[in-house]
Amino acid sequence: MRDCSSYPGRPTALKRFFVLFALGCVPVVLTACDLADYFPDAPQPVSVISPGYQVRIDGQAVPVSGFDKCPPSGGDTEHAAQTDAGHCIVLSEGRKTVRVSLHRPGGSVTETWQIIRARDAHKREITRLQRPDGQFVMAANP
């Protein structure tokens, strides 16, 4: 008589274990997505634009800088400026405007940009910057 316990269509104990393990992990992974909702008072990351970052102004790439102290490098700010500690653009919570220098070929110009915060369809925060002429600031290389 033939032993059917190793038949490919028949689940083995190991296969059953992996299926049950995977089914048990799915709810854990899905609930981890909602952790921000459970800890609304936890400190949120602050967006920082490093000096020299290029934005598109009138169809041209223009480097910008700010007048804020740059946060130290490391942790959540690994891409922050390391060489120039005083020319970042910090978009901290509660701030409505930010002064910015545009470094055009003909010379630098200072503008005050509006910080507009909203929520998308998934309730994630969106931060947009608007120039005095009403144009939204866009990255030079999106």
pLDDT tops 90 at residue 134: yes
pLDDT tops 80 at residue 57: yes
Q: Mean pLDDT for the chain?
A: 78
Residue 111 placed within a domain:
yes
Overall number of domains in the chain: 1
Residue 40 placed within a domain:
no
Residue 135 placed within a domain:
yes
Residue 133 placed within a domain:
yes
**Structure confidence at residue 123 (pLDDT):** 86
Say if CB 57 and CB 111 are below 8 A apart.
no
Average pLDDT over residues 78-102: 81
Residue scoring higher pLDDT (139 or 24):
139
Q: List, for residues 21-54, the tens digit of each pLDDT value.
A: 444 444 444 444 455 566 666 667 788 999 999 9
How far does Cα 54 stand from its chain's mean position? 17
Residue 1 placed within a domain:
no
Q: How far apart are CA 140 and CA 53, in angstroms?
A: 9
Residue 118 placed within a domain:
yes
Q: Which domain holds residue 105?
A: 47-139
Say if CB 80 and CB 50 are below 8 A apart.
yes
Residue 24 placed within a domain:
no
Residue 119 placed within a domain:
yes
Average pLDDT over residues 107-135: 94
